[in-house]
Structure 1
Amino acid sequence: MEEPTQETDDDQRRKSEENVSSDLLHLKRRIGLVGAASFVIGVVIGSGIFVSPKNVLVYSGSIGLCLTIWVVVGLFVLIISLVYAELGTAFHHSGADYIYIKDAFGGLPAFLVVWVQAILQNPASRTLKALVFADYVDSLVSSTSCNLPRSIKIMIAVIELMSLAITSMISVRLTTNIQVFFTATKTVALIIIGVGGIVKLAQGSFGELKTGFEGTNEQFTVVLAVYSCFYAYDGCSSHCIFHLLFHPGRNIPLALVLSTFVIMTVYVLANVSYFTVLTKQEFLTSWTTWGQKMIGSASIIIPISVLCSIHGSNNGTTFGISRVMFAASREGQLPEVMSYLHVKSLIPTFSIAFSVPLFIPVICIIILLFLLIVPFVHKPQTEFLYAVAFIGAGLILYPLVYFQIKIPGYNHVTVFFQLLMNIAPPAKRE
């Protein structure tokens, strides 16, 4: 009979390393209903409500049609949210739109989605918000001293983006708590604006609301107003993080419906308040006049609220896009290292049962196709060709992805980032 050999330190170390295997590295469900709703509300309410109202009014031409568009688009987005709720409960994988499209239509359309989102749309959107964030910091500073130079504002934008990336890499719980805080802050600010309008109405002051539908523009211009309104609602179907939810069958539909309803309500109330306090010209020139008229010296609260709003929106977007890149990497369409998880926090550090009737998604697709085609037919612009060209560039790169062609030194780069960021590959699609 062989005597049992004594386990050496090397054996124990090897066993410990084996325990941290790919089979154990997977994304954990760490977000509840409040956190999920906060992510959706936080991503949607960025600078849109403070910028888009002007464009909606310019293109619609009248106060009545402007408010009607805010309500109708809100209801339409609510219907779209129901469609995404069904998809979210049916596909329990990270990646959201990317995974849905890949499973339904194949690799090429899915690659074009992640190509546009991860390489152009998302970085550009976050950078733009960060620059707006810096502009509002400048407005606060200039109220007490001189304007900041452009180089300082760019530095502020870079710091804002870096702080968001670091937060997302540290902890899901920390990111969620930050999102809840900033969502509550911006929602309270919009509620204050809405209550101000209600008080004015109760006092019998209707302001520009009395003009109704006077000055309504032609139908094709109204399409541009709808586009502008969609920008403010952009993100209501945000579900990149829904694979991290506890009880997804219950919480996904509730989070989407609740958050969309809250967003639509505060948007409409805020616009009603704007029109009861401001003239058309004031509304189109500077919405900050509302704060000066309603709360006087305390109007500094408004730009501070905008800062919180933009930061919260960027926080949610940064957290969500990392999950899309994680999923695309797991499917072999982005560098493999992007799918690796931190061995302790189980976060993709590098990449930082509900149903609806079939006619609902069909109607949504028809309306969205109409909104997509009309601008090309009625008023084509050179900028549209830039977007088409960028998507076409993805077609050129896709063969490299399809045939899994790797550049020399690819594996060495992957190992370098594994050691640098303490990450390892997960075992399966999540």
Structure 2
Amino acid sequence: MNKENVIKRNSCQCSVFSSMASPSQQGGKEVKATVLQKDVGLFSGICLIVGTMIGSGIFISPKAVLAETGAVGPSLCVWVACGVLATLGALCYVELGTMITKSGGEYAYLLEGFGSIIAYLYSWTSIIVLRPSSFAIIALSFAEYAAAPFYPGCIPPVIVIKCLAAAVILIITLVNCISVKLASYVQNFFTGAKLFIICVIIIAGIALLAQGKTKNLTNTFGDGSTSFGNIGLAFYSGLWAYDGWNLPLAIIIGIPLVTICYLLVNIAYFTIMTPTELLQSPAVAVTFSDRVFYPVSWVVPLFVVFSTFGAANGSCFTGGRLTYVAGREGHMVKILSYISMKHFTPAPAVMFNGLLSILYIMPADIDILINYFSFAQWGFYGLTVLVLMVMRFTRKELNRPVKVPFVIALLVFVVSCYLVLAPIIQKPKLEYLYCILFILSGLILYVPFVHYKLRWARNIMRPITMHIQLLMEVVPPETKE
């Protein structure tokens, strides 16, 4: 079959490969349809939710929260306040989800409330900014804990951290390109490891408190900071650990449990480390382990590495699916909606997400990426809650099985505005400008490809799509998922 035939098939959403992979009889043998693997059962789905909510944040964020608040007391208050804010935000999402029953989460809510441009910019931002930066943050967290035991008493070199982070991104991307079932098994195992190590740290902290290790938990507000912008940055780091609160089951079983766990883990850290020691620690859980579990202190960093690896795998899995759906709906280039004909995974979307994540880890560190991520994320969280508020007046006829008090939505919206504006006012940084430019750059693709659907734009992409398709052996999905 020549290239002209491939291009012809490609223009009608078929291909040389799709004819080979269709569910027809070829040589007396039925060929499997080219649709995504769905080997994610109930248990694996729960592990994915837990792995999304409890990620690397509790092992990375305590130092950043303490640095911005300046004392133990305010830092613990920030952790509790983040849990309360996540709960209130989740309540707003429950009303939105029961009122707007279309699938798509924030995209569907923003589309219903503010139209296609804002909804598209959210989809674009999620794919270009939020998902890759989340993957990059978790990979850097993995690298810090994986390298820490080999550099006792000092901070590992930056080049080592970034090379390890890039390596784990490549490994996880490969796993998710090869098999959904393999990715699910990886997620299940590492979620178990994550819960185990959190329980170990909490139990050790309770035992230390029972032994009277409370020196660092007295006069906890002595040197606290009340700076307008610093508190906002502290919330960025704390809320990063709660990311995933907008999942459907989060409000029911997740957020209260996660809040208690995070608070107890932070208290455990302070039973054995002073605030200064915690800030100087290259990896907080490693320092805690060295002082509490010696000579088997290697157990904690090992399981933290397992935990961050599982969180990175969950981020890659969900990020790849989001990119795949965006390509299928025409919000990104079509090749991102294609499926591997060998493995039946969204390989182009997963690889695109992994590539962006590697690009993000090169110039930035964890704190910069968290600020970058949180700034964009909470801008759209605020807009999503604003949809709920506006529709209370413009769409009164909609059925609302769950209706939260208006003051809750207003409070979440005001806090979202504060979280977006306060850090910029207090400490203007280039990453905020870069983030805004990245978000608005989506309009460059939206106008020709989505709004006008210009033929010349499609003609430019068609040969590129064809060559990538031939190289990667991917095909369009036969049915919409």
TM bracket (short chain):
0.7 to 0.9
- Residue 417 (structure 1) shift: 4.3
Contact map agreement 2:323 2:349 (CA 8 A) in 1: yes
Specify every segment of 5 or more residues in structure 2 that has no aligned partner in the other structure, as ranges: 1-18, 351-399
Letter in 2 for 1:382: L
The answer on 1:403 being equivalent to 2:412 is: no
Whole-angstrom distance in 2 between the partners of 1:213 and 1:149? 34
Determine the C-alpha separation between the residues in 1 that align with 2:139 and 2:442.
27
Aligned-pair CA distance for 1:387: 1.8
Q: Write the distance in 2 (CA, Å) between the matches of 1:186 and 1:14.
A: 41
Of the candidates 327, 330, 354, which is equivalent to residue 332 of structure 1?
Answer: 330
- Find out whether 1:123 has 2:132 as its counterpart: yes
Cα distance change, pair 213–303 in 1 and its aligned pair in 2 (3 A): same
Q: Does 1:41 align with 2:88?
A: no
Query: Which residue does 1:382 correspond to in 2?
Result: 430
1:280 aligns with 2:278: no
What 5-or-longer segments of structure 1 have no aligned partner? 1-9, 240-251
Contact 1:96 1:324 (C-alpha < 8 Å) held by counterparts: no
Separation (CA, whole Å) in 2 of partners of 1:186 and 1:123: 22
Q: Is the 8 A contact 1:325 1:338 kept in 2?
A: yes
% identical equivalent positions: 31
Task: Give 1:229 deviation, angstroms.
Answer: 1.0
Residues 202-351 of structure 1 aligned to structure 2 (within 5 Å): 202-220=210-228, 221-237=230-246, 239=247, 252-253=248-249, 257-286=252-281, 287=284, 288-342=286-340, 346-351=344-349
Tell whether 2:475 aligns with 1:423: yes
1:366 CA displacement: 2.6
2:411 to 323, 344, 363: 363
CA contact (8 A) 1:82 1:257 kept: no
Deviation track 1:364-403 (CA, whole Å, cap 9, x = no partner) reads 2232122212223344333322222222322333212222
Supply the AA of the counterpart residue of 2:453: Q
Q: 1:158 aligns with which of 163, 166, 172?
A: 166
Aligned residues: 400
Provide the C-alpha distance between the structure 1 equivalents of 2:413 and 2:37, rounded to a whole number of angstroms: 33
1:169-188 deviations in Å (ceiling 9; x for gaps): 33333322211211111221
Aligned to 1:66: 75
The Cα shift of 1:324 comes to: 1.5
8 Å contact 2:139–2:308 — kept in the other structure? yes
* SS of aligned partner of 1:204: coil
User: How far apart in 1 are the matches of 2:102 and 2:57?
Assistant: 30
Measured in 1, the distance between the counterparts of 2:430 and 2:301 equals: 34
For 2:475 and 2:305, locate their aligned partners in 1 and report how far apart those are by CA, in whole Å. 33
- How far apart are 1:319 and its partner, in Å? 0.7
Relative to structure 1, is the Cα distance of residues 33 and 257 closer, same or farther in structure 2, using a 3 angstrom cutoff?
Answer: farther
1:97 aligns with 2:95: no
Partner of 1:6: none
Shift of 1:413: 3.5
How many angstroms does 1:20 deviate by? Answer: 7.0
The AA in structure 2 aligned to 1:169 is C
The change in CA–CA distance for 1:272 and 1:354 in structure 2 (over 3 A counts) is farther
Closer, same or farther: CA 68–165 of 1 in aligned 2, 3 Å: same
SS in 2 for 1:370: helix
Residue 91 and residue 31 in structure 1: after superposition, are their counterparts in 2 closer, same or farther (change >3 A)? farther
Q: 1:227 to 1:58 in 2, by over 3 A?
A: same
Q: What is the RMSD computed on CA atoms of the aligned residues?
A: 3.4
**Letter of the 1:404 counterpart:** K
| 1:77 paired to 2:125 | no
Give distance in 2, aligned partners of 1:66 and 1:149.
28
Q: CA deviation at 1:342?
A: 4.3
Provide the TM-score with structure 2 as the length reference.
Answer: 0.73
Distance 1:57 1:131 in 2: 20
Letter of the structure 1 residue corresponding to residue 115 of structure 2: G
TM-score w.r.t. length of structure 1: 0.80
The AA in structure 2 aligned to 1:193 is I
Would you say the 8 A contact 1:74–1:264 is kept in 2? yes
Q: Which moved more, 1:126-135 or 1:381-390?
A: 126-135
Q: Matches of 1:348 and 1:329 in 2, distance apart?
A: 11
Q: Using the TM superposition, give the Cα deviation of residue 53 of structure 1 relative to its aligned residue in structure 2, in angstroms.
A: 0.9
